[in-house]
Amino acid sequence: MNGMLAIVALVTLPLVAALMAVVVERRGEWIALLSVIGVVIALSVLMPLVATDGPVDLVIGGWQAPLGITLRADGLALAFAGMAALVMAAVLVSARTLYGASPSEAETRGQWAFWPLALLLWGALNVAFLSRDLFNLYVALELLTVAAVALVAIEGKRESLAAALRYLMFALMGSLAYLLGAALLYAGHGTLDIGLLAARDIGDASGATGSRRASDIMAAGLMTAGLAVKTALFPFHAWLAPAHAGAPAPASAILSALVPKASFVILLRLWFEALPGLTTPALLATLGGLGAAAVFYGSVLALRQNRLKLIIAYSTVAQIGYLFLVFPLAGGDSYAQPWAAGAWTGVIFQALSHGLAKAAMFLCAGVWIIAVGNDRLSGMRGLASATPMTMSAFGIAGVALVALPPSGGFTAKYLMLTAAFASGQTIWAVVLLLGGLLSAAYLYRPLAMAFSRDDDATFAPVPRSLQVAPLLLALAAILLGLGSQAPFSLIQTGRPAAAAEGLE
* pLDDT tens-digit readout, 89-138: 999 999 888 877 666 566 677 778 899 999 999 999 999 999 999 999 99
pLDDT value for 101: 65
User: Per the domain annotation, does 462 fall within a domain?
Assistant: yes
Contact 126, 16 (CB under 8 A): no
Strand-pairing partners, residue 307, are 376
Report d(CA 310, CA 24) in Å as an integer: 36
* Torsion sign across C-alpha atoms 488, 491, 494, 498: negative
What pLDDT, in 10s, does the model give residues 258-280?
999 999 999 999 999 988 888 88
Q: Are residues 249 and 363 in contact, defined by beta-carbon separation less than 8 angstroms?
A: yes
pLDDT at site 25: 76
Assess if residue 77 is contained within a domain. Answer: no
What mean pLDDT, rounded, does the chain reach?
Answer: 89
CA distance 503 to 500: 9
Indicate whether 205 pLDDT > 60: no
In a domain, 236, yes or no: no
The reply to whether 330 falls in a domain is yes
pLDDT at 335: 47
Taking residue 25's Cβ as centre, other Cβ atoms within 10 Å add up to 10
User: DSSP code of 207?
Assistant: G
- What are the backbone angles phi and psi of residue 69, rounded to the nearest 5°? -120, 135
208 three-state secondary structure: coil
Q: How far apart are CA 447 and CA 466, in angstroms?
A: 20
The answer as to whether 206 is a domain residue is: no
- CA–CA separation, 253 and 241 (whole Å): 12
Whether 94 is in a domain gets the answer no
User: Which residue segment(s) compose the domain that 452 sits in?
Assistant: 280-504
From CA 479, how far away is CA 481, in angstroms rounded? 5
Weakest mean pLDDT among 33-42, 119-128, 306-315, 326-335: 326-335
pLDDT at 152 over 60: yes
Count up the domains in the chain and report the number: 1
Lowest mean pLDDT segment, chosen from 84-93, 129-138, 457-466 = 457-466
Strand partners, 58: 71
Q: Residue 79: inside a domain, yes or no? A: no
* SS3 call for 365: helix
Q: Taking 50 as the threshold, does the pLDDT of residue 424 lie above it? A: yes
Structural domain includes residue 81? no
